[in-house]
Structure 1
């Protein structure tokens, strides 16, 4: 397979917008609500709380809208693959209707806020499709169209789409949307600050005292006290409810290529076939459109990321006739054991700490919905779908198999990776531009040798729960296969739930 000469390994959303520059937290402070996490869920919650008249401080470990949200595909759709037939069959039509209503209201909220604030977020109203090319999957597609329509969405079964190849069938839902997430969220952040809210970037939260009031401690030792705390860090960095046992991390890859404006697809698309493929376009330079294709779901720490990227690129070339790609990037999300996100109180013993996580790849509509739901709960309102998303729920029958599978996988990594042989017997065996876990003086070390031959060695034990990290050669990062934490070659945290870096190994 011919290796693709990628132009950039940054996302289009990040490259086409300026980096933000909000200050670090430099002194102890107090406020009504602290929001931890500056992605779409955290920013939406902070903005909604400010809208409700509360004083809000948001802390973000890096830059806002530059983590998971900065690497999304940015589809605003209530059609989440085949969720409605599943919810209807397992929980009944009323539950499916609540899910549809909450997601549809989130899309409407983005449209309304965009108009109200005059945001140039490249918002486009388009239909959404879940398609299959397999005759064997037609019954599932028909069932989803029926369940989505029963749930109150403008859904239908179709055999014609805007894709440049035939499909066996598809669910079509009208009046969905796509947008530029960073342009939207940057405007939300500016409006929040304009109305008295506070945003602190490069401020990692490392401690949480769930008292009355609550205290959030940051890595530089400063604190924020508040009556309420929202943890919106994608994967909860404070997890006293042990939600990690009910969350499965997954990573997916993205390739993007310019196409003529006349080849626009006229919608947003997803198929569960071929290890999932998600397709949309966005306004691009010189009047062109940018074709964005996502797929190749895998667990962080998987060994064949480079091959997965080539498979995704080959599929895109074959289906859309593109010859050159402009971008590639990767995204990460978590899926709950019952496929419905966790949004609500963090654990049974708290009345003051809330969480939003487990968006299952649908972070745009669900992130906005989470902001609305959490703001309502903090202000004493119970939306009608609160129970649907409540993190304290547990469906033993529905969740038993996924829980056992997830637990067995983590246990296998926790024990097996300690015994797993490395392709490198010593530090000397690690070639330039590669990384390997090497046992040195009885300890497992994560060793990376850069292109100049310099060795960067850190502890191989993830600082979250101690699983052994693996090297992602395509993205030059260390990844935990248990819960998805990611680290740079210097050990610094790239992605939680870990909030402490890997310790440096000296003298190698």
Structure 2
């Protein structure tokens, strides 16, 4: 344990944020009009605003904190169309045509970034790199071969290998050529600078609390500022404005961890991710103080992880097993929205609200998907169509195996699921004294906590503010909302707003 304390001498800090200047855009004060209001100043919000401004539209970006500091500031920043073993699955679930749209959108995103860097001469540590998915497990060898075949059939330059430049043996790997890595904040901050002016704005420290619908959308911030626009883009990572789309039923949240270490050896280049769990991802990180290597992974469903230090420790020991690790100057963690059917939701929020757009559910592959989203939303707003829109269509419904979960969780969001309903607790749910976790009971998500007396407290884990799924916070013994920061006690009482209503309690029916 002492070794851990020694090696992690500093608190977690993202290299992307530490190595770039802090932004200082004003907070929204008073009333502003724009053609398009964009809620969320991450990679999607900034790219979309920049593209729409190029088209002559007046845009206004609203960010609750500082721009580009959320998921964008805590990424592995792999600019790749290789999203794990994706394409074979996409072809079988969505068909060849939609799989091709997904491949084309993400490949186009890489080239969009490369061309923008060249055109604007942006210095953002961009480099072309091959991307690999490798396996050390026999059960993934066939899947990797199928992935190579699927990717090649969609026009991606992919090949099958039995070894990689990594210092450990693999059973098989797929390599995509012409992929890239970069520094996302160094790329996006210069674009952000071009947004304000000529009727366009970026507002920071301006959390949105309400949206009024009429002929136009009026977005209201916590300090009373208002922006009115004909169109609205919800780019807030987890959609804050969601009741019509019921996205909360179609997304769940993963936490992942990154340590950036200095190694004695020289890293061979390339970007790597394991096919099997626990996920292990590697890439080089050029810094002013020399090259570091990012070791990432150890993800878990939010609210279901062990002590977070263990995840950093697992990555540190993975690094040490394979390299001579000298120091870990940076470590950080992030949250990702995971869609039920492996494709992000990008486009019109719902068909009956043509002027509201959403981009969410990037499944840990937000760099190319964010850029693709910005291009899709620009095309939908300017031309009314995009060649990639069908695969990303938020209104799609893919029943598959998730049908029961989908229906149950939609009812959950509508606030009807636990109304006086009694649920049996299965025998295989183990909850220790002082432990809180999310359990699935009859396909329903329930928050469970066992107090010192051994009593089990069950609550509906849907935030009563806007319907997000809550996480268990073991440090504070509370249920926390990842969207707007509402917090509840173990038995559902409100600890912190914006919510004003306690959680619904779930009655237990013992066997």
Into which bin does the TM-score normalised by the smaller protein fall? 0.7 to 0.9
Change in Cα spacing, 1:271 to 1:3, as seen in structure 2 (3 Å) is same
Change in Cα spacing, 1:305 to 1:403, as seen in structure 2 (3 Å) is farther
The whole-number CA distance in structure 2 between the counterparts of 1:19 and 1:479 is 31
Contact residue 345 and residue 392 of structure 2 kept, 8 A: yes
The whole-number CA distance in structure 2 between the counterparts of 1:376 and 1:167 is 42
Match of 1:217 in 2: 220
The whole-number CA distance in structure 2 between the counterparts of 1:118 and 1:193 is 20
**339, 342, 349: which one aligns with 2:342:** 339
Is residue 159 from structure 1 mapped to residue 170 from structure 2 by the alignment? no
**53, 63, 67: which one aligns with 1:64:** 67
> Which consecutive unaligned segments of at least 5 residues does structure 2 have?
436-448, 490-495, 503-511
Contact residue 462 and residue 468 of structure 1 kept, 8 A: no
Change in Cα spacing, 1:273 to 1:135, as seen in structure 2 (3 Å) is same
Question: Secondary structure in 2 aligned to 1:176?
Answer: strand
> How far is 1:3 from its partner?
4.9
Change in Cα spacing, 1:486 to 1:27, as seen in structure 2 (3 Å) is closer
Is residue 363 from structure 1 mapped to residue 371 from structure 2 by the alignment? no
Question: Secondary structure in 1 aligned to 2:50?
Answer: helix
> How far is 1:337 from its partner?
1.0
Match of 2:443 in 1: none
Change in Cα spacing, 1:479 to 1:216, as seen in structure 2 (3 Å) is same
**445, 470, 473: which one aligns with 2:472:** 470
User: 1:301-351, CA deviations, whole angstroms, 9 ceiling, x for partnerless residues?
Assistant: 225133233222222221233143222211111111111000011122201
Is residue 17 from structure 1 mapped to residue 20 from structure 2 by the alignment? yes
User: 1:101-120, CA deviations, whole angstroms, 9 ceiling, x for partnerless residues?
Assistant: 00000111111111112111
Question: Secondary structure in 2 aligned to 1:326?
Answer: strand
Is residue 191 from structure 1 mapped to residue 202 from structure 2 by the alignment? no
Contact residue 301 and residue 470 of structure 1 kept, 8 A: yes
User: 1:56-77, CA deviations, whole angstroms, 9 ceiling, x for partnerless residues?
Assistant: 0000000000011111111100
> How far is 1:210 from its partner?
3.2
User: 1:229-261, CA deviations, whole angstroms, 9 ceiling, x for partnerless residues?
Assistant: 00000010000211110111111111111235x
Match of 1:244 in 2: 248
Change in Cα spacing, 1:360 to 1:468, as seen in structure 2 (3 Å) is closer
Contact residue 478 and residue 487 of structure 1 kept, 8 A: no
Match of 2:434 in 1: 423
After TM superposition, the structure 1 = structure 2 runs for residues 52-91 of structure 1, keeping only pairs within 5 Å, are 52-91=55-94
> How far is 1:264 from its partner?
2.1
Change in Cα spacing, 1:95 to 1:490, as seen in structure 2 (3 Å) is closer
Contact residue 34 and residue 59 of structure 2 kept, 8 A: yes
If the length of structure 1 is used for normalisation, what is the TM-score? Answer: 0.83
> How far is 1:224 from its partner?
0.6
The alignment covers a number of residue pairs equal to 466
**29, 34, 47: which one aligns with 2:32:** 29
After TM superposition, the structure 1 = structure 2 runs for residues 495-506 of structure 1, keeping only pairs within 5 Å, are 500-501=497-498
**297, 303, 316: which one aligns with 2:299:** 297
> How far is 1:141 from its partner?
0.5
Question: Secondary structure in 2 aligned to 1:192?
Answer: coil
> How far is 1:472 from its partner?
4.5
> How far is 1:17 from its partner?
0.9
**352, 355, 358: which one aligns with 1:352:** 355
> Which consecutive unaligned segments of at least 5 residues does structure 1 have?
425-435, 445-459, 492-498
> How far is 1:213 from its partner?
1.4
Contact residue 227 and residue 352 of structure 1 kept, 8 A: yes
Contact residue 254 and residue 335 of structure 2 kept, 8 A: yes
Match of 1:453 in 2: none
Contact residue 341 and residue 357 of structure 1 kept, 8 A: yes
Question: Secondary structure in 2 aligned to 1:130?
Answer: strand
Change in Cα spacing, 1:254 to 1:479, as seen in structure 2 (3 Å) is farther
> How far is 1:384 from its partner?
1.3
